[in-house]
Amino acid sequence: MNNAKPTRQDWLVLLFMMILVPLAGEPKMHSFSGDFASFRVSFGSPVFLLFLIWLSNFPRLFTGAVAGAAVMLFRTGLDVFYGDDILLALIEHIPNFFYYFIYSLFFALPQLSRRSIYEQALGIAFWAIIAEVFASVGELAAMNAIAYQQSETFTLGMLGRLVLIAILRCFFILSFFFLFQLYNTEMRLTRKTKEKNRLTMLIAGLYEEVFELKCSLQSGEDITHDCYNVYVQLKDRARTPEDEALANEVLRIAGQCHDIKKNQQRIYAGLRELAQNRRVDDYLSPDKLVKLLIHTQKKYARSLGKEIFFSAKVPTGLPPLHSFMLLSILNNLVANAVEAIPSRGTITLTIVGGTGDGRLKITLENTGSFIPPRRLAQVFSPGYTTKFDSSGKASSGVGLTYVKHQTETLGGTIELTSDGKDKVTCYLDLPCQKLHKPTKPKENPPHEHNAD
């Protein structure tokens, strides 16, 4: 049994069990006549078993006692509603409590959760049949004791009927068990897929951060060098103690800049190693990459309150590409298009090639915004931006600069055109050699040596 402390969700499920199990016990049939005519067979026990497996953070006997008390009180309330005496109705339904309590007793000891799904199913079937039979016998014995009189004899035929009912209900329980396991498996796969997609986009974003940090390192190096040159000049011209103090202050600032640069170098080394990681699962087919990209940018467009229609034209069967490297480029371009569209528009992504000529040609077209032709030459310049936040502060303007730098680093080209009215088109031409998954070189067979 799981020793974890029950969560708030566990208590809500327990409350749901207290409502559903009594209701599931109402569609019923009576298997016996005579003194045992009040004994019923219903869907209460299969539903209870599902909750018994689900609520693994509670002690089994506690769950059985709660279910038994809920059923007893529910049926007592129904009898009182139809005019029966409350005390007599409560006494009559005490055997219902013993049924669920005894049922849970047979699941208190087996450690079913540590086994495989098939072993769990067989274990649940075995213990469900035994629990069903003994719980039914216990309920009949309690009914006999409460009657205060000698009832008809419990025969082997009645026992056989109970076993048959238990076996039939076992198939019903197992079908729900496998449906429950299938649901859990699907939910786990969904969570893993979402987490993998989130990490993929996160690492893709690191490519741009590495580029910006590299630029910052160069700026830090230049500032440190300039500060030191100023220190040398002030030191040579110093004539008074105040001049010496000023020179030393500039030297201190140079030292601080140097320390900052060293810290950035350590961060840069770690991020660069992570961004350039090339595991086998870092490569995805272009159609999967585009689906992930569009899914992310749709959420981004909705967060900005914009109505943007996304479409993609990507042929299936293209070889896998390095996901982080390509996403870092495309994510910047598509996000830039989303931000540039004032309220509504379309974004179309087309990918062709990747096989014959060894080139990957990507076209990104958006409507709803435009770039004046005179500014096309400035778009990729560092710091250039046309986007401002609500306070009037300009964005960093490094996104498209990074895209151009990364594209040229890969040996590709990028071109931006605009009709000056309502459409902007970006053309990317990338070599597939640096994007495809590297193939392992074939090992040469060992040469045979002839003995002299």
Look at 257-271, 274-288, 364-378 and tell me which has the smallest mean pLDDT. Answer: 274-288
**Mean local confidence (pLDDT), 270-297:** 73
Q: Tokens 């943007």 map to which residue?
A: 308
Q: Is 2 within 8 Å of 46 (Cβ atoms)?
A: no
Top-confidence residue, 83 or 121: 83
Asked if the model's pLDDT at residue 355 lies above 50, the reply is yes
Using pLDDT thresholds of 50, 70 and 90, give the confidence band for residue 366.
very high
3-state secondary structure of 307: strand
Instruction: Tally Cβ neighbours within 10 Å of residue 219.
Output: 13
**Mean local confidence (pLDDT), 111-131:** 61
pLDDT digits (tens, 9 = 90+) for 219-266: 777 788 888 888 888 888 888 888 888 888 888 887 888 778 777 777
Distance between CA atoms of 273 and 316, rounded to whole angstroms?
31
Instruction: Quickly list H helices, 147-276.
Output: 156-237, 241-275
What b-and-e string marks burial along 396-425, b requiring 16 or more CB atoms within 10 Å of the CB? eebbbbbbbbbbeebebebebebeeeebbe
Look at 46-55, 87-96, 280-289, 379-388 and tell me which has the smallest mean pLDDT. Answer: 379-388
Angle among Cα 241, 246, 252 to the nearest 5 degrees reads 125
Asked if the model's pLDDT at residue 85 lies above 80, the reply is yes
The mean of the pLDDT values for the chain is 75
Residue 172 confidence (pLDDT): 64
Residue 52 confidence (pLDDT): 79
Asked if the model's pLDDT at residue 152 lies above 80, the reply is no
> pTM to 2 decimals?
0.49
Top-confidence residue, 366 or 449: 366
Using pLDDT thresholds of 50, 70 and 90, give the confidence band for residue 38.
very low
Top-confidence residue, 402 or 42: 402
Residue spans of the domains in the chain: they are 8-154, 202-280, 282-434
Q: Is 431 within 8 Å of 407 (Cβ atoms)?
A: no
Backbone phi, then psi, for 321, in 5-degree steps? Answer: -125, 160
Look at 66-75, 157-166, 177-186, 389-398 and tell me which has the smallest mean pLDDT. Answer: 389-398
Q: Quick one: CATH architecture of 282-434?
A: 2-Layer Sandwich (3.30)
**Mean local confidence (pLDDT), 63-82:** 89
Distance between CA atoms of 439 and 414, rounded to whole angstroms?
27
Top-confidence residue, 312 or 115: 312
Backbone phi, then psi, for 337, in 5-degree steps? Answer: -70, -40
